[in-house]
């Protein structure tokens, strides 16, 4: 499949460039693009006998790390990571991104914040001029279950748009995160957004919100694969090398 080739090409390019002897502790993201990335990491680690510790962002990431024979760590043990690699639902030209389509945004952001460099791998369709242009499912927001109605009402009051509770596809009721919380998806009008930093701050101050899927200017470098297997590498000009 062209999309799978694009994801695999992006993952391989990122891992080949970023995983080397000077990298000792990394954060491992979640989602479909991370599967080939972890496989490539394992190949390099075993081939070069690297001493690499991997900190997961979800149960899926934990199982990937273990099934590929890599060393497992945790944020309880390591709060300073050399690198974090993850996927993205959409990345804009200011290197803001939306994450959380898979419901793991809280742990993903914790790991990204702990990393000296945060890189994303994705297919080229995830790159857009502004957030909300291609990803139209909304900003994922993790909330504590008891507060979801209050939180939904307050977000719509302060920021407009529509907030919906994410429902499960194979079970009745809301999707639960690894922390046992609900996810709200805030659907917004991209034209009305001026400053994502302010939007994220407003969301975080709403009672009941645990974390958002907005990663504002956190990306150091993005690797975007196309259906031909070629990869375009984009570096955030606001971050030093």
Which residues participate in catalysis according to the annotation? 108
Q: Is residue 173 within 8 Å of 220, Cβ to Cβ? A: no
Helices 34-48/2-18 angle, 10° precision: 40
User: Does residue 164 contact residue 212 with C-beta atoms inside 8 Å?
Assistant: no
Measured over the CA atoms of residue 75, residue 78, residue 80 and residue 81, the dihedral's sign is: negative
Q: Of 191, 21, 213, 190, whose CA–CA distance to 109 is shortest?
A: 213
């Amino acid at each position: 499949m062209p999309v799978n080739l694009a994801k695999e090409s992006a993952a391989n390019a990122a891992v080949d460039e970023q995983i080397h002897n000077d990298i000792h502790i990394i954060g491992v993201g979640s989602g479909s693009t991370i599967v080939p990335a972890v496989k490539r990491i394992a190949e390099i680690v075993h081939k070069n006998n690297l001493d690499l510790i991997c900190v997961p962002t979800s149960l899926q990431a934990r199982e990937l790390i273990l099934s590929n024979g890599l060393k497992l760590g945790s944020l309880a043990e390591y709060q300073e990571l050399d690198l974090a690699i993850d996927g993205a639902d959409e990345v804009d030209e200011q290197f803001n991104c939306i994450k959380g389509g898979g419901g793991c945004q809280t742990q993903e952001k914790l790991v990204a914040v702990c990393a000296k460099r945060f890189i994303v791998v994705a297919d080229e369709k995830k790159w857009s001029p502004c957030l909300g242009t291609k990803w139209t499912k909304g900003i994922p927001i993790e909330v504590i279950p008891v507060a979801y109605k209050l939180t939904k009402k307050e977000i719509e009051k302060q920021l407009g748009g529509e907030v919906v509770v994410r429902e499960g596809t194979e079970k009745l009721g809301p999707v639960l995160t690894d922390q046992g919380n609900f996810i709200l998806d805030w659907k917004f009008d991209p034209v009305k957004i001026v400053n994502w930093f302010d939007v994220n701050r407003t969301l975080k101050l709403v009672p009941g919100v645990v974390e958002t899927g907005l990663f504002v200017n956190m990306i150091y470098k993005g690797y975007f694969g196309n259906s031909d297997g070629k990869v375009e590498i984009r570096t955030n000009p606001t971050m030093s090398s």
